Amino acid sequence: MAPDPSLHLPGHPPGHLHDKRERILDAAQKVFSEKGFYNATVEEIADLASIGKGTVYLYFKSKVEILVSLIESRIKEIKALILQESRRPTTVGERVRNIITMQFSFYSLYKDFLKVFLSEIGEISGEFGQRLARARADLIETIDDILKSEIEKGNLREFASRIIAYALMGATNAVAFEWLVKENKDPDEECISQLCDFCLYGIAGAPPRHERLFKEAI
């Protein structure tokens, strides 16, 4: 059973944002998502945030600073949620399901962010590119740590946790992107369930049982 995401997700729904910095980030998220970073203009972001163009620069040094701050900020949020979920006492299977489900809920709330997050892999370089890479690595490490801990406890089969952390993240993001962003659907029990099964059997599966597969010629 999936956890109720609304209970854990950050408490600043649109319309309740008194903080101007947050208003800018929210506007940027939307505009970057719609047009991509380079086709978005600072003026558009300012307009959407209902502030003057110059005001943006009181809160962020540059356009790319907005992007990086946005991603860092959201990744920090989702990382916290994942950690929280990972500590809830339950079975491994349930725990993995909860984490994946929670990510779907988060991405569902921040559909725009998911698109931005996945789009800016190669566009930004230099100092800011490094900050982005660090944020990404931070998230992967969180997953990695959880996997390691479960393997240690014998709850999961032995595998190279860091590689699989990337695989898990890649699988989840790809499905979430397709489902939530491209097809713009709501998080769907069946879809999540399919993804969870794939991931779980992948990380929990018993190799010996599968040797069989390699003997069935086709």
Residues that bind DNA (CB under 7 A): 20, 39-43, 51-55, 57-58, 62-64
Please say which residue, 55 or 193, places its beta carbon nearer to DNA. 55
Least CB distance to a copy of itself at residue 181 (A): 9
Of residues 120-159, those binding a copy of itself (CB under 8 A): 120-125, 133, 147, 153, 155-157, 159
From candidates 7, 14, 15, 214, binder to a copy of itself by CB under 8 A: 214
Judged by CB under 8 A, the residue of 33, 101, 103, 142 near a copy of itself is 33
Give the other-Cβ count within 10 Å of 113's Cβ: 25
Among 17, 51, 109, 191, indicate the residue that binds a copy of itself (CB under 8 A): 191
What gap in Å lies between CA 95 and CA 3, rounded to an integer?
10
**Helix 189-204 with 92-109: angle, nearest 10 deg:** 140
Q: Is 207 exposed, middle or buried (0-12, 13-18, 19+ CB in 10 A)?
A: exposed
Contact between 6 and 109 (Cβ < 8 Å) = no
Given a contact cutoff of 8 angstroms between Cβ atoms, the answer to whether 182 and 119 are in contact is no
10 contact, one of DNA, a copy of itself, none, CB 5-8 Å limit per kind: none
Closest CB to a copy of itself among residues 12, 62: 62
